[in-house]
């Protein structure tokens, strides 16, 4: 009697458990798409839990039928992860109950790509059994608004693979006035006079110290860690540290000089200097005033602002508003950070992250040139304590004589909280910008993000559907330079001449506070 070929059946694979103390995991990457086949033990996903990155291996030979998550999602252990068709009867305890059908696998010649919003959805174990798939966040937002996802049939699904995303739900609620738009969706704010107007970025530039500090050097304080491990966690191979006697203002002067040279703007025509920094050379007066003096424009308006890593984008929007309001015609928008001066070399959370640098742009009221659109600014003050430097302010102006509280004068970062919040916030800024300007991911030439952490940026790339090779990434050589990082990445890319005329460039940042910022520049 001939052997009977076993019939495949469906299993629902949950998010793995990582122990009693770990309740949530972040999806960093999923390497398979619906219809892909794989073998037991193949690496098919990457997850993160409290600074530990691990690979998720296929539990069996099978074919992926549906994904219930996307990169950047924060999901509880035991929640739905993926649906697989398999013949491995050792997994019958995960078998789907009911009449769900098995979908045939993709042929090898079909390149696995995210399905378009019009694609026919595969059977799913998500909350919506028919119609488009919903991400966990989208279903949660709908239910919090008192809606049943099953009953919603007219929602636009713009997420990867035709999924309904949390942003789709926010737009759906806003259009029906059934609930307020989420605070993280500044694009829903009504456009008022001037909000759609643009100004010119005439030139950009950046500067870094000559002193290079490699990850191998930093590791001397951490004998239990390896260079491979730290590069995998952060993406940083080296960073620049200012030398003895070198100031943030010195770096700012160099960055502004490059921007002025590129712009062709005469320094004498500058009527304002806006400086974004978290650590000015001295608290009073403003570092912008010191820079104005060094540049030879002592009569220019000059002030500092602190929005941490989002600082330069906040400064761009303030500069745009000052020009459109008639207060200024030609502005220097600059940021400079010497984070090495406030980084604890013995703190494994921060010692590998931060570096020094500066970046600048010349904003003008010219009708031509690179067009800067409105930067959407928002925040989440509930995350106030996630990134802090408690010392140096009025509450604690200097360490006590016994120096027992010196750690408060260093930057302190709650890595897991920052990572979980940053992926979704970065993605929201990008997706909000796309929606504001009626753009699609394929319309975008480049993403110039805050250089927070390469793992974060890779997860953001997956989440928004924009290839990582279209992200301008300089973190490997300069580290995280807080407010300076976006301006430095833009200056580096301009210097490398990778932008083409007409390229649509999206800025995005998440900073301590939390502060959020994002918007469009057309090169």
The residues assigned a catalytic role are 309, 450, 480
CA angle centred on 314, ends 311 and 318, rounded to 5°: 135
Those residues whose C-beta lies under 8 Å from the C-beta of residue 20, and which sit 6 or more positions away, are: none
Q: Do 204 and 261 touch, CB atoms closer than 8 A?
A: no
Q: Do 34 and 66 touch, CB atoms closer than 8 A?
A: yes
CA angle centred on 112, ends 111 and 118, rounded to 5°: 110
Give the Cα separation of 382 and 111 in Å (integer).
43
CA atoms within 13 A on the CB side of 43: 6
Residue 278 DSSP symbol: S
Give the Cα separation of 175 and 495 in Å (integer).
43
β partners of residue 357: 337
Q: Do 359 and 206 touch, CB atoms closer than 8 A?
A: yes
Give the Cα separation of 421 and 418 in Å (integer).
5
**Closest of 152, 137, 151, 120 to residue 182, by C-alpha:** 137
Those residues whose C-beta lies under 8 Å from the C-beta of residue 293, and which sit 6 or more positions away, are: none
């Amino acid at each position: 009697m001939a052997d009977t070929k076993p019939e495949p059946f469906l299993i629902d694979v949950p998010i793995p458990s990582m122990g009693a103390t770990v309740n949530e995991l972040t999806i960093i990457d999923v390497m398979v798409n619906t219809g892909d086949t794989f073998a037991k033990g193949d690496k098919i996903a990457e997850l993160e839990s409290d600074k530990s990155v691990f690979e998720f291996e296929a539990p069996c030979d099978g074919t992926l039928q549906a994904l219930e998550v996307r990169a950047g999602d924060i999901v509880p252990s035991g929640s739905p992860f993926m649906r697989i068709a398999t013949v491995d009867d050792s997994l019958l305890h995960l078998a789907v109950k009911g009449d769900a059908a098995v979908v045939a696998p993709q042929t090898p010649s079909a390149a696995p790509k995210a399905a378009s919003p019009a694609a026919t959805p595969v059977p799913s174990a998500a909350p919506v059994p028919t119609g488009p798939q919903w991400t966990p966040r989208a279903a949660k937002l709908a239910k919090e608004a008192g809606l049943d996802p099953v009953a919603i049939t007219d929602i636009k699904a713009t997420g990867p693979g035709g999924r309904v995303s949390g942003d789709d739900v926010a737009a759906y609620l806003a259009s029906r006035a059934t609930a307020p738009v989420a605070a993280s969706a500044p694009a829903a704010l009504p456009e008022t006079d001037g909000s759609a107007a643009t100004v010119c970025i005439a030139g950009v530039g950046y500067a870094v110290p000559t002193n290079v500090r490699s990850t191998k050097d930093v590791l001397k304080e951490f004998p239990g860690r390896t260079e491979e491990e730290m590069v995998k966690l952060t993406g940083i191979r080296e960073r620049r540290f200012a030398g003895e006697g070198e100031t943030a203002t010195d770096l700012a002067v160099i960055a502004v000089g490059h921007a002025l040279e590129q712009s062709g703007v005469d320094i004498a025509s500058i009527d304002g200097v806006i400086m974004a920094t978290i650590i000015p050379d001295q608290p009073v007066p403003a570092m912008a005033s010191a820079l104005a003096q060094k540049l030879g424009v002592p009569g220019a308006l000059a002030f500092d602002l602190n929005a941490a890593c989002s600082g330069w984008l906040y400064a761009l929007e303030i500069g745009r508003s000052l020009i459109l309001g008639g207060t200024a015609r030609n502005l220097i928008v600059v940021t400079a950070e010497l984070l090495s001066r406030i980084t604890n070399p013995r703190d494994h959370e921060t010692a590998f992250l931060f570096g020094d640098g500066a970046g600048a742009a010349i904003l003008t009221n010219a009708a031509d040139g690179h067009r800067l659109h409105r930067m959407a600014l928002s925040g989440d003050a509930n995350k106030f304590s996630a990134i802090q430097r408690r010392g140096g302010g009025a509450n604690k102006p200097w360490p006590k004589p016994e120096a027992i509280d010196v750690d408060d004068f260093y930057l302190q970062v709650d890595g897991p909280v920052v990572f979980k919040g940053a992926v979704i916030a970065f993605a929201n800024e990008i997706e909000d910008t796309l929606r504001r300007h009626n753009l699609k991911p394929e319309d975008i030439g480049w993403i110039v993000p805050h250089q927070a952490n390469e793992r974060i940026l890779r997860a953001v790339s997956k989440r928004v559907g924009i290839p990582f090779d279209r992200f301008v990434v300089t973190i490997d050589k300069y580290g995280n330079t807080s407010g300076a990082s976006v301006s430095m990445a833009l200056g580096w890319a301009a210097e490398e001449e990778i932008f083409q005329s007409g390229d649509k460039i999206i800025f995005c940042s998440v900073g301590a506070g939390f502060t959020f910022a994002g918007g469009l520049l057309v090169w």
